[in-house]
């Protein structure tokens, strides 16, 4: 568990589960699920996951060998919860951010629960996107807020970490070049999807994935599961960016 992640104002879960079947963990330290707003296990008629019970431990499974249902939770946070990724010059206040717990499918072909900080206004989009990725069993390596890496984007990328909000000290507030400072951008599997917009790919291990025709698990490709899940929610992929491909980066406006 990342000790810095203390969720202080968590509302109670909607319904307590009667039983929870234990699934294997990924080996990556993840905070426990501390739900506030319980969000869907399965899509409703509108495509938005409907309300359901949320466990306070491992993902539930309805039968031996069955895939646990998708789960997402949304919780408020304070500045104390984002000490390395937020400062007073950032263009968004902690009160406008949310901590989400999300089911994801690991490279070990098993279900896990990860955590991510995003803008409150995009939690519905994020829920829909990751519900699709989970249902399609698109593999994600790791999912932790960048505070787990002391706000270091380089370290988060090197760990192949999927993350959202980051506005560390030294960033330029409202003039910040990325929607990450607003919590309206998400980087997915940075090693498999390197930022190739500069002279050298970031993270360095991403050089092994610069050949995008060599399709491997976890990669973002045109018309692939990952790209289609984000674009269906109205988000923009920076893979085909004219300023240089950033395969990991998805945002609400392309920045």
The pLDDT tens digits of the residues spanning 4-33 come to: 344 333 333 333 322 333 333 333 444 433
Quote the tokens at residue 249. 């980066």
d(CA 101, CA 172) in angstroms, rounded, equals 28
Percent of the chain with pLDDT over 90: 64
pTM: 0.77
Q: What are phi and psi of 64, to 5 degrees?
A: -55, 130
* Burial class of residue 124 (count of CB atoms within 10 Å of its CB; 0-12, 13-18, 19+): middle
Average pLDDT of the chain to the nearest whole number:
79
Pairing of strands 161-162, 142-143: parallel
- The dihedral built from the CA positions of residue 114, 117, 120 and 124, taken in this order, carries a sign that is negative
Compute the distance between CA of residue 241 and CA of residue 127 in angstroms, rounded to an integer.
25
∠ CA 108-110-114 to the nearest 5 degrees?
95
Averaged pLDDT for residues 160-179: 75
pLDDT at 171: 54
More confident residue, 255 or 60: 255
């Amino acid at each position: 568990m990342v000790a810095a992640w203390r969720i202080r104002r968590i509302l109670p879960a909607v319904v307590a589960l009667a039983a929870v079947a234990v699934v294997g963990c990924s080996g990556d330290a993840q905070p426990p699920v501390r739900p506030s707003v319980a969000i869907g296990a399965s899509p409703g008629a509108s495509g938005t996951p409907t309300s359901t019970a949320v466990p306070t431990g491992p993902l539930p499974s309805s039968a031996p060998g069955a895939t646990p249902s998708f789960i997402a939770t949304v919780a408020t946070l304070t500045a104390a919860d984002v000490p390395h990724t937020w400062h007073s010059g950032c263009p968004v206040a902690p009160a406008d951010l949310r901590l989400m717990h999300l089911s994801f499918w690991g490279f070990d072909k098993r279900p896990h629960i990860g955590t991510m900080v995003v803008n409150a206004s995009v939690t519905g989009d994020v829920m829909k996107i990751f519900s699709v990725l989970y249902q399609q069993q698109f593999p994600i390596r790791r999912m932790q807020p960048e505070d787990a890496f002391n706000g270091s984007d380089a370290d988060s990328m090197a760990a192949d970490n999927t993350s959202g909000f980051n506005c560390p000290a030294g960033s330029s507030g409202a003039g910040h070049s990325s929607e990450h400072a607003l919590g309206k951008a998400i980087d997915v599997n940075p090693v498999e999807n390197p930022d190739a917009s500069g002279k050298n790919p970031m993270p360095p291990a991403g050089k092994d994935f610069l050949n995008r025709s060599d399709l491997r698990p976890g990669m973002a490709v045109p018309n692939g599961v990952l790209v289609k899940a984000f674009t269906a929610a109205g988000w923009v992929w920076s893979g085909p960016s004219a300023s240089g491909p950033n395969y990991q980066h998805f945002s609400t406006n392309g920045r």
